[in-house]
Structure 1
């Protein structure tokens, strides 16, 4: 299929967006006096901004494009996951945020050393860093891959615009620059989804009523068969369980989200951040699914507009480039760039926070504030370059089927981390050696299940998490505790014991 002419006006709009994002990084660069500023923003971030940042961080460009494609070709069942993410927030409010705020952490994994030992801290931190370097590469690659058929840009140019510019503004502005660019990007993502839906409604005969009527007739919301239990397919019961543990991992054991809990000046502002995120998650993703239904109605009425043998995974950018007015199309493509950059910049800053806090400061000697800040910026650049190089390799080698494989590894790497936090906070008798036994068994179990069964990948995180907790609990009496009663009183929820 021929690429669409992107047009001068669209290029101007995209360029203006990229310049604006760069200027935000330049503005906040002057406030970065220490590593504490670079990772915590001196507590200057209001709760509502941190909340939009969490929302933008967890919504990548792949989600931005794949949700409408999913609703177009299939149904709305994956919307369940968004509301599971909201449902766990009271749990996070009550049990997790007090620990992260009280201990004044830079890296979430500092808690694991305080509760267990340095091995658990390094395991979780290194796992997080490796996972997110891969995430940067794959998000950049898949974004470029999705846009290549529709815009007349070289794929390496797309990688450069997304990756290199993201490195620059993250390098300069630290977490403060990242969060305020996330605010801009989160607003752009939300406005783009609403704008696309409204514009399609005006182009469908019968308008919004016809859109939802056609989807209902095609049984494209929550089909009855999706409520059946399955060990291999992503039916609704599987999604509920899988998204519960995936959301738990994201909100309790992932540095890029947990870091938002410590950039505000009070626990009330931190809770406000998650409430803001919950409101956005409750509303905005519905528009992404509605866009998919609207595209289904539009192209059902106008099938001649779709090229023969069209890959429907790119239905959203195809509509934007081919049907939306010049300038508006550039704004939507800028929103896709924004979705990618908001995820990548958060990954870069959190990788830097983990390395600086968990390795450089923890294992190094005589690390001054100035040296720590310099190291933080160096790591930001190195992690970004690694991600861009890996993404370039993926483009040159034309790799495929990466996203499903990458998602399946979340259980392998995210499950043990989530389990460690659960074990530490809720199981008072657990100790460093029982936690290590739990992690080892967790990794072995997930690898065995992945290699020997057809179990749906949503179960990997469940197995990885629960295996750490179960084995950590059962083996605890075999080892002597390395923490005093006073330390356990501070580091666990079972304070009455």
Structure 2
């Protein structure tokens, strides 16, 4: 594999970006006077900024690089998932956001204690924290792994630049700093995708028309065979179902996204956040797939530019480093760092919010806002250090095949968490013990399916969610509900269940 010198100008651009992000954290550090500032930004975030933050949070650097690679080697079928995510947003706004806003939650999992009991709150919160520490490690590791073959930067340096600097600005700026850096990073990602596509268009004989024509001739959009049903392959029907439940998990049960619902000063601003996110999701991912199509056309016309036995998973950074002008290449690599950091910083602040709200505040006497702020910052650092150490271990041990295995575990914990919120919001007869029975059954079911069948991992979240709801509903009459009727009605959707 050919190694390309990153170049002085590219280094300057990358370092300027990293310095700018650090300055954002420094600027917002002066506003962090209490836990409410650190985790909720005092309600000062405008809806459009919260929406860009949601978009940037859910789009990691791995997505930024893997979607063009998927369109290059395969087809566009995964684009379906982006629009499924848009379709569930009205449902989220109608049924979930009113609860989160009305209860003035710091951690989304506070709802589960109010609706069920402390066991359900701790299960969901601890599952979220462990998952996101692992996610920090995986995103950092795979970002470094993707860049190593193409730029002359030591992988541990990449881990440091992504992880340690992210810890610092998240520690200083809290959720307000995280969201405003997300805005910068989200814009960088969008501009980078458009910039790459336009630049390739100028380098392909026949331009944009030829790019889309070549993909059509190769049947690289939505091949007819992908519309068939399959239990083991990621065909379009499977993707639609899988992304539906994955999006539900992300927008109803994941603290890093749910936290954006409470950083604005009104429910109307929260609505603007979802609308802004929907607009971005509708437009920007198309450019990522278009970049893959453009790369396919470019390297089909110029096959000699690809090294022998090239790993096409790194096609995007390879093109950026080898073909784009100095300075512009540095800006694109900075965008890859941005995608990684936006996901990691959100995870850090959300882990801190969960630990402080769900665990620390429940120990001993009532804590002051200043004590919560101090603990929140300490947890931010510890979570980041654990994530960086784990990613360093993965690099040193040269682990492989982690991302698919990690994605499959989303269904193990994410599915039951989604089911818990769904059970609580929609099933009035459900109680703490029936919810526990549902969670145990769901985890056991997903583990059994994962170990004994070749079922596609997109179904894991479906199984985890539905088993919690079904078992929680059926077993509810077996247990006494300890909550008053009025309390249950205030925490559920009105209607007969």
Structure 2 equivalent of residue 302 of structure 1: 302
CA deviation map 1:122-171 (0-9, x unaligned): 00000000000000000000000000001100000000000000000000
1:329 aligns with 2:329: yes
Query: Counterpart in 2 of 1:183?
Result: 183
**Counterpart for residue 444 of structure 2:** 444
Distance 1:271 1:457 in 2: 32
In 2, distance between residues paired with 1:365 and 1:352? Answer: 19
Q: 1:246 — aligned with what?
A: 246
2: CA distance, partners of 1:46 / 1:328: 31
Secondary structure in 2 matching 1:370:
helix
Deviation at 1:3, TM superposition (A): 1.4
- Aligned residue in 2 for 1:357: 357
Q: CA deviation at 1:212?
A: 0.1
Tell whether 2:367 aligns with 1:367: yes
Q: Compared with structure 1, are the counterparts of its residues 364 and 3 closer, same or farther at alpha carbon in structure 2 (3 Å cutoff)? A: farther
Q: Matched residues in 1 for 2:31 and 2:174: separation?
A: 9
1:369 shift after superposition: 1.2
Aligned equivalent of 1:83:
83
Corresponding residue for 1:272?
A: 272
Gaps of 5+ in 1: none
Q: Which runs of 4+ in 1 moved over 4 A?
A: none
Contact 2:2 / 2:307 at 8 angstroms: preserved in 1?
no
Return the offset for 1:496: 6.7
Cα offset for 1:17? Answer: 0.0
Q: TM-score, normalised by structure 1?
A: 0.99
CA contact (8 A) 1:441 1:467 kept: yes
Does structure 2 retain, via aligned residues, the 8 Å contact 1:489–1:495? no
Tell me the residue number matched to 2:288: 288
- The answer (yes or no) to whether the contact 2:182–2:342 under 8 Å persists in 1 is yes
**TM alignment of 1:304-319, pairs within 5 A:** 304-319=304-319
In structure 1, distance between residues paired with 2:141 and 2:318: 18
Equivalent position SS for 1:366: coil
Indicate how the Cα distance of structure 1 residues 470 and 496 shifts in structure 2: closer, same or farther if over 3 A, else same. closer
Q: How does 1:89-100 map to 2 (within 5 A)?
A: 89-100=89-100
Give the corresponding residue for 2:56: 56
Q: Is 1:481 paired with 2:481?
A: yes
- Partner of 2:171 in structure 1? 171
Distance 1:449 1:364 in 2: 41
Q: Is the 8 A contact 1:26 1:173 kept in 2?
A: yes
Equivalent residues in 2 for 1:11-410, closer than 5 Å: 11-410=11-410
**Residue segments in structure 2 that go unaligned for 5+ positions in a row:** none
Shift of 1:364: 3.5
Q: Is the 8 A contact 2:416 2:464 kept in 1?
A: yes
Q: Deviations over 1:199-230 (max 9, x none)?
A: 00000000000000000000000000000000
Superposed CA RMSD in Å reads 0.7
Aligned residues: 497
Answer whether contact 2:143 2:340 (CA < 8 A) is retained: yes
1:220-244: CA deviation from partner (whole Å, max 9, x where unpaired) = 0000000000000000000000000
Distance (Å, rounded) in 2 between the aligned partners of 1:381 and 1:232: 40
Measure, in 2, the Cα distance between the counterparts of 1:114 and 1:367: 20
